[in-house]
Amino acid sequence: MKIINKEIAYDGHFKLYKVKLQDDDNVLERELFDTGEAVAALVFDTARNQYIFVKQYRMAANDKMLEIVAGMHDNPNESLEAAACREIEEEIGYAVDTIIPIATYYSSPGAFAEKISLFYAEVSHKKSEGGGLAEEHENIEIVEVAPPDLSTLPLNDGKTLIAVQWALLQKQK
């Protein structure tokens, strides 16, 4: 298979492309939803011995969801690590002491182009209140979780499930 034509069908907050694929003698038409590239981080406060999550309304779920810190990597001059550190400060108010990569993956590559770079970050001092940027209309609640409670969290967000499973596996080593 190869893409032979790609046109923007919708260009709003996100993009929707109409794509033509060549599959041997067949031409297939598909849609591709593109939100861009994202970063996400499981944050651990080493001074307080707490994981730090965010809770915010998510339109697709029509509910508030418990998640790790995440945001867009929309500046090509910014490294993925720097974007994750920026999101951590914006959303929960912490400066990052240490950041390490966990994985980079596509969340649903059949029709969704978002690529997520997932990190683990350690923090120890708060620089601001966090809560998100006013211009992004984020209404973020900060949630602290003790390490023994990590495995009991009611999670239904993919990036958060991956990060928590990674953390639980690290404890077994």
Q: Within 21-152, where are the H helices?
A: 80-92
Q: How far is CA 31 from CA 19, 27, 110, in A?
A: 6, 13, 10
**Tokens standing for residue 19:** 């794509």
111 is in an annotated binding site: no
Distance (Å, whole) CA 110 – CA 119: 24
Helix (H) or strand (E) holding 59: none
**Tokens standing for residue 150:** 């990590």
91 is in an annotated binding site: yes
38 is in an annotated binding site: no
87 is in an annotated binding site: yes
In sequence order, the β-bridge partners of residue 51 are 44, 145
As annotated, the binding site for Mg(2+) includes 70, 87, 91, 138
Annotated binding site: 70, 87, 91, 138
